[in-house]
Homo-oligomer: A and B are copies of this chain.
Amino acid sequence: MSADKQPVALTAGIIRTDRTMADGRTIRYYDDGVVARTAVDQRQVDAMPGIGDLRLDPLVNEWVIVASHRQGRAFLPPKELCPLCPTHDNLASEIPESSYQVAVFDNRTPALTAPHEDFRHGVITGFDTPDVPAAGKCEVVCYTDQHEGSFGELSLHQIRMVMEAWRDRTRELSTLSYIEQVFPFENRGEEVGVTLNHPHGQIYAYSFITPRTQNMLDVAEAHLKKTGRVLMDDIVARELKDELRIVAQNSEWVAYVPYASRYPFEIHVAPRRSVPDLAELDDVAADAFPEIAKEVMQRLDGVFGIQMAYIGAWHQAPVRTGRDALRAHWQITSVRRAPGKLKYLAGSESAMNAFVMDMKPEQSAGQLRDVKLK
């Protein structure tokens, strides 16, 4: 069941090489040209955790992932024990090679796990819908082999390679029969519970459509039916027309604080041409992404002159449905509202999903625009 394969050429001269880890997981190296990736994972094999459950919350018909096997995962290890650094003399990390460019490996303690062959999707039958296995895939996307730094500090070329990894993973994960939605994201900062400081993101590939995406899909399909138009196209057009909340733009991308943002600093970055997901993004748009991504990140960190904690989330259409109605975009939300002050999800947000925004989105966009770029 080895994953070792011949290297595959992607776009922009990027080569992917798959290798099998000691416990059978796969690691994928994304390199700028052909680089020999032959290092062998020498670690002892630990037992892999089992698969969790999906339980239906009958109050709202939403699946909850019960992953009780994950309690023991790594929690802010010291730098010299970082599992995302390359392997070196004193450390056998998750990445067997002694250096890498971008690497994506299967998460060792995944919330979602590849199921057995006889897996069937959960079907909501009512308030006592039975559990189903928490099928899916969880992957870790290492942005660089340098432990210090952040996504926004990567070179333009390095961000382009990360984008290629996102596109490639979206494309491949979409072919798996048990996957309904692919979600690349990044949590940055201890304020949002980050347990490893090494610059990295994650991919969750779900075997169900997530509640938020289902809501977006319902609204977008109703809009499409009523107007014949893609909702996000109309939203982006309004943001461009209003101008007030635009944060950055280039020939291929628009970044704005949305009209009804929920967080003090929330930025949506949308490609100018509608695509349902990153797999369908064309090379021109992929090539223009690093520039706007770096600018947005610099503006975010520049507002208070500190590294902002954020969640960077790629909204994508589900794999098998709604692909004519939903449009990919990158949503960055920060919980910081001032130096030393966080936006907490308290009663109204947490229990009622009714958000209270303490500043006007136009003010937030103005502060982001006012940042002087280096």
Which residues does A use to contact B, with CB under 8 Å? 55-68, 70-71, 75, 111, 126-128, 183, 185-187, 192-194, 202, 204, 206, 208, 210-213, 215-216, 219-220, 223, 226-227, 231-232, 234-235, 238, 258-262, 311, 313, 315, 331, 333, 341-348, 350-361, 363
Is B356 touching A231 in the complex (CB atoms < 8 A)? no
Instruction: Name A111's contact: one of B55, B260, B348 (CB within 8 Å).
Output: B348
Q: Closest residue of chain B to A332, judged by CB?
A: B351
Is A260 touching B347 in the complex (CB atoms < 8 A)? no
Instruction: Name A58's contact: one of B127, B226, B231, B347 (CB within 8 Å).
Output: B231
Please, how many angstroms separate the alpha-carbon atoms of A333 and B345 in the complex?
Answer: 12
Residues on B with C-beta less than 8 A from A204 are 347-348, 352, 354
Residues on B with C-beta less than 8 A from A127 are 223, 231, 234-235, 238
Residues on B with C-beta less than 8 A from A357 are 64-68
Is A192 touching B344 in the complex (CB atoms < 8 A)? yes
Instruction: Name A231's contact: one of B59, B75, B208, B344 (CB within 8 Å).
Output: B59
Instruction: Name A351's contact: one of B333, B348, B355, B359 (CB within 8 Å).
Output: B333
Copy count, this protein chain: 2
Please, how many angstroms separate the alpha-carbon atoms of A65 and B61 in the complex?
Answer: 26
Q: Closest residue of chain B to A234, judged by CB?
A: B127
Given contacts A63-B354, A71-B358, A213-B352, 9 further A-B contacts (CB under 8 A): A60-B215, A64-B262, A65-B357, A66-B357, A68-B359, A126-B227, A204-B348, A313-B352, A345-B345
Please, how many angstroms separate the alpha-carbon atoms of A128 and B226 in the complex?
Answer: 14
Is B260 touching A358 in the complex (CB atoms < 8 A)? no
Please, how many angstroms separate the alpha-carbon atoms of A204 and B347 in the complex?
Answer: 9
Q: Closest residue of chain B to A215, judged by CB?
A: B60
